[in-house]
């Protein structure tokens, strides 16, 4: 080891780029081959890594071999293995070869596509692939560039919600005249809506007192009730407030519930609210004809988003959003700056996606969505969804057939919400927490939990890319084994 002269320092030399990248491809392939050997949920204790790594950066360069050795010995034990076929927690985050390849090209080209001229292909491919995706979902042409709307890739649902909330806010304040009126604007959600809407509303200045959380219940399978929504709106209007934004969900995080999009859409139109459909999880499933009805009424929405990073094989991060009137987003988010001025933008003949999002710079994420779609084709993508749903169906049946267990919320997609039946209802939470902890501590599977209507339950989110039928069967065996151990103890 010694000092290197600048001349020999070539951080992007094509030959060593190729050699070293291939070594890392081998490393990752080997990781996938062995992934079932690791405990799914990491077993490390807080602070484990600071005991393994130095507390200052090295002065001299280190070899790739040494770095990969540390990845194996220090990083892998601290991973919770989202790509394990035994990962059933949260919602899956589908990696795939196609998504990975797309990420490689994105990172390899490493263009910063803030505006059209900074890399025309990045903008144009994104517009094209958003139309492809929109057509696969049978979105009305009012959401497509080939119609009167358009789509954009965001990094997350939060960003999609913040951008649309800001657009709705600024549009409303323009009408009402004066920013003081922000205290009149009200956002409507259900108690099943993802918390990110509340986070977003707070961020753009909607206070908690103007954020409505409509209670749902078992009676509507935790869907937002249009009647209750209308009642809340009417009450607010009587109090001098102004309905601003409604978020409906297709596939809630807790239990996969679906809000009645058409009914909500009608109410949104009636009260002139911005209506956003959050289909983060289940939107991907709507490429299948049998699930598309859940999106019926989307023609009444102003915007819709789905996370293709969850169930659509595109690796982190990728959130598709379509808008009927991108103009309002641009009005709210556009800031001109001399250094970005160029004749293409000034001709108004191109899209500058930086005006459709929060950050200025943006990665060329469209590549991976494009490659995922092409490499699998609609037919295999539909099979991919159906195969996960079939496995979930099978798991649900196994649970339902066992008299010690019960389904808590009926399954719609590939999320199964179940629990062990308690002898006394008040023991239900403790019993199932213990069972869940026993399963997760085994390292053989990882699930998370939910609470709806006061009932604690276990969530089995089926759909990790490598999950096959036998993994689901093993999960059920593991659950029964841990339940038995509990009963024996």
Footprint (CB under 8 A) of a copy of itself, residues 121-180: 121-122, 124-125, 127-128, 131-133, 135-136, 146, 155-159, 162, 166, 179-180
How, if at all, do strands 415-420 and 446-452 pair? unpaired
Taking the least distance from each CB to a copy of itself, the nearer of 310 and 324 is: 310
- Residue count of the chain, please give it: 489
Query: Which residue, among 487, 489, 419, has the nearest Cα to 453 in the 3D structure?
Result: 419
How far is the C-alpha of 288 from the C-alpha of 253, rounded, in Å? 20
Of the candidate residues 38, 82, 405, 418, the single one contacting a copy of itself (CB under 8 A): 82
**Subset of residues 270 to 299 that bind a copy of itself, contact rule: CB under 8 A:** none
**Subset of residues 15 to 44 that bind a copy of itself, contact rule: CB under 8 A:** 15-18, 20-22, 24-33, 41-42, 44
Q: Does 111 bind a copy of itself (CB under 8 A)?
A: yes
Query: Which residue, among 255, 297, 291, has the nearest Cα to 276 in the 3D structure?
Result: 297
Of the candidate residues 60, 239, 426, 470, the single one contacting a copy of itself (CB under 8 A): 60
**Subset of residues 388 to 447 that bind a copy of itself, contact rule: CB under 8 A:** none
**Subset of residues 241 to 260 that bind a copy of itself, contact rule: CB under 8 A:** 253-254
Q: Does 338 bind a copy of itself (CB under 8 A)?
A: yes
How far is the C-alpha of 159 from the C-alpha of 157, rounded, in Å? 5
Q: Does 371 bind a copy of itself (CB under 8 A)?
A: yes
Residue 274 forms beta bridges with which residues? Answer: 245
How, if at all, do strands 211-214 and 274-278 pair? unpaired
Q: Does 14 bind a copy of itself (CB under 8 A)?
A: yes
Q: Give the DSSP per-residue string, 322-347.
A: EES-HHHHHHHH----GGG--HHHHT
Q: Give the DSSP per-residue string, 144-185.
A: STTTT-EEEEES-HHHHHHHHHHHHHHHHHHHH-SGGGGGGE
Q: Does 489 bind a copy of itself (CB under 8 A)?
A: no
List alpha helices for 35-151, DSSP H: 64-70, 97-109, 120-136
**Subset of residues 184 to 203 that bind a copy of itself, contact rule: CB under 8 A:** 194-196, 198-199, 202-203
CB of 183 to a copy of itself, least distance (A): 7
Sole window of 293-301, 307-315, 323-331, 408-416 interacting with a copy of itself (rule: CB under 8 A): 307-315
Centroid of chain to Cα 338? 35
How far is the C-alpha of 92 from the C-alpha of 90, rounded, in Å? 7
Sole window of 117-125, 289-297, 423-431, 472-480 interacting with a copy of itself (rule: CB under 8 A): 117-125
End-to-end CA distance of the chain: 58
- By CB under 8 A, the count of residues binding a copy of itself is 161
How far is the C-alpha of 259 from the C-alpha of 278, rounded, in Å? 10
CB of 155 to a copy of itself, least distance (A): 6
Taking the least distance from each CB to a copy of itself, the nearer of 194 and 444 is: 194
Sole window of 9-17, 216-224, 403-411, 478-486 interacting with a copy of itself (rule: CB under 8 A): 9-17
Of the candidate residues 219, 337, 426, 489, the single one contacting a copy of itself (CB under 8 A): 337
**Subset of residues 211 to 230 that bind a copy of itself, contact rule: CB under 8 A:** none
> 249 and 260 in contact (C-beta within 8 Å)?
no
Taking the least distance from each CB to a copy of itself, the nearer of 339 and 401 is: 339
């Amino acid at each position: 080891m010694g000092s290197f002269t600048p001349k020999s320092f070539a951080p992007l030399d094509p030959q060593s780029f190729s050699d070293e990248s291939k070594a890392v491809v081998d490393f990752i392939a080997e990781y996938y081959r062995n992934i079932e050997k690791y405990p799914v949920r990491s077993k490390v204790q807080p602070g484990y890594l600071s005991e393994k790594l130095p507390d200052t950066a090295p002065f001299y360069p280190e070899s790739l071999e040494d770095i990969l050795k540390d990845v194996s010995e220090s990083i892998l034990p601290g991973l919770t293995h989202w790509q394990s076929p035994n990962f059933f927690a949260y919602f899956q985050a589908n990696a795939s070869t196609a998504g990975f390849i797309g990420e490689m090209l994105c990172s390899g080209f490493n263009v910063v596509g803030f505006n059209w001229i900074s890399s025309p292909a990045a903008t144009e491919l994104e517009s094209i692939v958003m139309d492809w995706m929109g057509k696969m979902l049978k979105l009305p042409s009012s959401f497509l560039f080939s119609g009167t709307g358009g789509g954009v890739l965001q990094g997350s649902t939060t960003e999609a919600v913040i951008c649309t909330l800001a657009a709705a806010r600024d549009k409303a304040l323009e009408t009402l005249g004066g920013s003081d009126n922000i205290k009149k604007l009200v956002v409507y959600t259900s108690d099943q809506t993802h918390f990110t809407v509340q986070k977003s509303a707070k961020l753009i200045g909607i206070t908690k007192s103007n954020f409505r959380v409509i209670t749902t219940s078992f009676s509507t399978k935790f869907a937002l009730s249009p009647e209750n929504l209308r009642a809340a709106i009417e009450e607010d209007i009587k109090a001098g407030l102004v309905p601003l934004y409604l978020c409906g969900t297709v596939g809630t995080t807790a239990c996969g519930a679906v809000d009645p999009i058409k009914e909500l859409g009608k109410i949104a139109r009636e009260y002139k609210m911005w209506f956003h459909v959050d289909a983060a999880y289940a939107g991907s499933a709507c490429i299948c004809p049998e699930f598309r009805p859940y999106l019926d009424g989307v023609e009444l929405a102003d915007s819709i988003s789905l996370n293709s990073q969850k169930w659509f094989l595109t690796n982190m991060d990728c959130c598709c959003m379509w808008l009927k009137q991108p103009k309002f987003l641009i009005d709210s988010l556009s800031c001109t700056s001399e250094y970005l001025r160029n004749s293409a933008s000034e001709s108004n003949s191109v899209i500058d996606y930086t005006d459709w999002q929060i950050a200025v710079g943006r990665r060329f994420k469209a590549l991976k969505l494009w490659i995922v779609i092409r490499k699998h084709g609609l037919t295999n993508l539909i099979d991919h969804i159906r195969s996960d749903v079939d496995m979930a169906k099978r798991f649900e049946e196994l649970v339902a057939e066992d008299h010690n267990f019960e389904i808590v919320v009926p399954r719609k997609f590939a999320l199964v919400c179940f629990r062990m039946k308690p002898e006394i209802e008040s023991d239900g939470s403790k019993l199932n927490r213990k069972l869940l902890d026993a399963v997760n501590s085994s390292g053989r599977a990882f699930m998370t939990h939910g609470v709806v209507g006061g009932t604690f339950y276990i969530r089995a989110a089926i759909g990790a890319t490598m999950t096959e039928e036998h993994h689901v069967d093993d999960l059920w065996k593991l659950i029964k084994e841990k339940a038995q151990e509990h009963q024996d103890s």
